[in-house]
Amino acid sequence: MSDEYDSGSDDREGNEGGGSDAPAPVQERTFAALPPAHGRSFAESWWGRTWLKALEDTALDGQQLKKGRGFAREGRVGAVSVRPGRITAVVRDRDSSTYRSDVLLQELSEAEWERFLDMAVDRAGHIAALLDREMPPHLVEDAAAAGVELLPGIGDLDPECTCEAWDHCPHTAALCYQVARLLDQDPFVLLLMRGRGERRLLDELQVRIAARAQGHGPFGPAALSDGPGAAGTRTKDRGVRADEAFAARDILPPLPAPPPLPAEPGSAPSLDTETQPEGGVDPAVLEMLATDTAARAHRMLADALRPGHEQQPVPAGLTPQQDAVRLVADARPEPWIATRLAAGSGRPRAGLDAAVRAWQYGGAAALTVLDEEWTPDPESLARARARLAEAWEKGEQPRLRSAGNHWTAVEDGVQLRYGQDGRWWPYRKESGRWVPAGPADDDPAAALGGSEPAG
């Protein structure tokens, strides 16, 4: 609510849990008297202006309305009580006499409320707008399409005043102008006049949402189908926008607790059946892929449940060639399957072995260093040389020959590869090939010291 006014009593709970003989819940809101409204319009929202248009189109005497606007601007309207079907305030005349003024508005029938609630449940955006104290035109239009008129029209605002005027007098007009200011801030004021307070309305919406989520009752999935009796604007399996569901979170039923993480991934189904597979389909390969998928899903779920996971960057996707290497490293398939994966990754069998070692030391980043040679720019080259100079004590640095991002100690059979992320990767020469020999390190000496020969 705006600081323009203070909300007083709000008896919206009532006795809603009793039996059929329980009295209807007491619904009333009382708003403290508003300050004078010098130099501003009474309604800035479109629905507030529609409320005033209903008043101005109904009243027969424009001078009475003008005088009522003056009373409202001067702050002569006392505390405003809002109840279903009625608004009430004491208005002070310029001669200091006071009058009780009421304006009556027809409540919606039970059938109309049922249609309105069904329409609102179908469109989470309408609920979200109301919770944001907004009444978008499409909400009113959809309600009208369901046979429910929310905003008043000509003749709908019926005045009663102790001054005994038979039409809108300055006192009831002043009351209507002040109520427009309340409506600007909170359209639930209008809905209370129509018969439902905010708490009751949200409770009834929550009951419908919960029933629909459980898939039974008159609000289950069948209620969304197109057909006789269905609302014309409903669509089957439409879903709800995420931002609308988030905005309506305060009235949605709570989500169930997530199931616990299984102790281990599920096992792949056996595809060894009497039915012959389609041509080109290998059951053993499918079983390996299913096992790998279950293991990856289990690992991803475990990561997602760890505290702080939402702060971690989203990992980059793998290319098919990189994923073939990952499959061999993680799934350890039969040799003949590994040979097929080597062909799919564009590598010879020996090259696949080196790539698997790289993956085991550093994943996709290590594969990139294995496959790509690059020439550091002058600034990167200066940083690399400075790190090399700092890494060893004087006289202990091996003789390194540089080419691109490779620094090779030929006599020792070792090599350092400088990654574009500034880390150093150790390599060893084995069987005439340079192969990964350890994980990366920011310190080139530590990287070489942590290298290990091929097993």
pLDDT tens column, 313-346: 877 888 888 888 989 888 888 888 888 888 877 8
Burial class (CB in 10 A: 0-12, 13-18, 19+), 242: exposed
Distance between CA atoms of residues 332 and 318, nearest Å:
18
Q: What is the mean pLDDT of the chain?
A: 82
Section 73-77 average pLDDT: 92
Distance between CA atoms of residues 151 and 157, nearest Å:
10
Query: What pLDDT, on the 0 to 100 scale, is given for residue 15?
Result: 36
**257 is written with which tokens?**
């607790």
Exposed e or buried b per residue across 125-153, where buried means at least 16 C-beta atoms within 10 angstroms of its C-beta: bbbbbbbeeebbeebbebbeebebebbbe
Residue whose structure tokens are 């079983």: 287
Q: Is the pLDDT of residue 250 over 80?
A: no
| Residue 83: CB atoms within 10 Å | 19
Residue 427: phi and psi, rounded to 5, are: -130, 155
Residue whose structure tokens are 């760890």: 306
Query: What pLDDT, on the 0 to 100 scale, is given for residue 220?
Result: 40
Give the residue from 412, 375, 376 showing the smallest Cα distance to 392: 412
Distance between CA atoms of residues 81 and 89, nearest Å:
6
Helix pair angle (335-345, 349-371), 10° resolution: 40
Q: What angle do CA 26, 30, 31 make, to 5 degrees?
A: 155
Query: What pLDDT, on the 0 to 100 scale, is given for residue 89?
Result: 95
Q: Is 160 helix (H, G, I), strand (E, B) or coil?
A: strand
Distance between CA atoms of residues 148 and 140, nearest Å:
8
Q: Is the pLDDT of residue 123 over 90?
A: no
Report whether 409 contacts 429 (CB < 8 A). Answer: no
Section 159-186 average pLDDT: 93
Model confidence at 277, pLDDT cuts 50, 70, 90, reads confident
80-83 vs 401-403, strand pairing mode: unpaired
Query: 414-430, pLDDT tens digit by residue?
Result: 999 999 999 999 999 88
Out of 10-14, 34-38, 136-140, 322-326, pick the least confident: 10-14
Diameter of the chain measured on Cα atoms:
112
User: Which residue would you say has higher pLDDT here, 349 or 72?
Assistant: 72
State what percent of residues in the chain have pLDDT above 90. 37
> How large is the C-alpha radius of gyration of the chain?
37
| Element containing residue 426 per DSSP (H, E) | strand 424-430
Residue 274: phi and psi, rounded to 5, are: -75, -15
Query: What pLDDT, on the 0 to 100 scale, is given for residue 23?
Result: 43
CB under 8 A, 24+ apart: contacts of 401-408: 404/373, 404/374, 404/375, 404/376, 405/373, 405/374, 405/375, 405/376, 406/373, 407/444
Distance between CA atoms of residues 349 and 355, nearest Å:
10
User: Which residue would you say has higher pLDDT here, 191 or 252?
Assistant: 191
**290 is written with which tokens?**
């299913």
Model confidence at 10, pLDDT cuts 50, 70, 90, reads very low
Query: What pLDDT, on the 0 to 100 scale, is given for residue 3?
Result: 35
Q: What angle do CA 202, 205, 210 make, to 5 degrees?
A: 125
DSSP state of 25: P
Model confidence at 240, pLDDT cuts 50, 70, 90, reads low
Query: 366-404, pLDDT tens digit by residue?
Result: 999 999 999 999 999 999 999 998 888 887 888 889 999
Q: Is the pLDDT of residue 14 over 50?
A: no
| Element containing residue 344 per DSSP (H, E) | helix 335-345
DSSP state of 225: S
Q: Is the pLDDT of residue 226 over 70?
A: no
Q: Is the pLDDT of residue 49 over 50?
A: yes
Q: Is 283 helix (H, G, I), strand (E, B) or coil?
A: helix
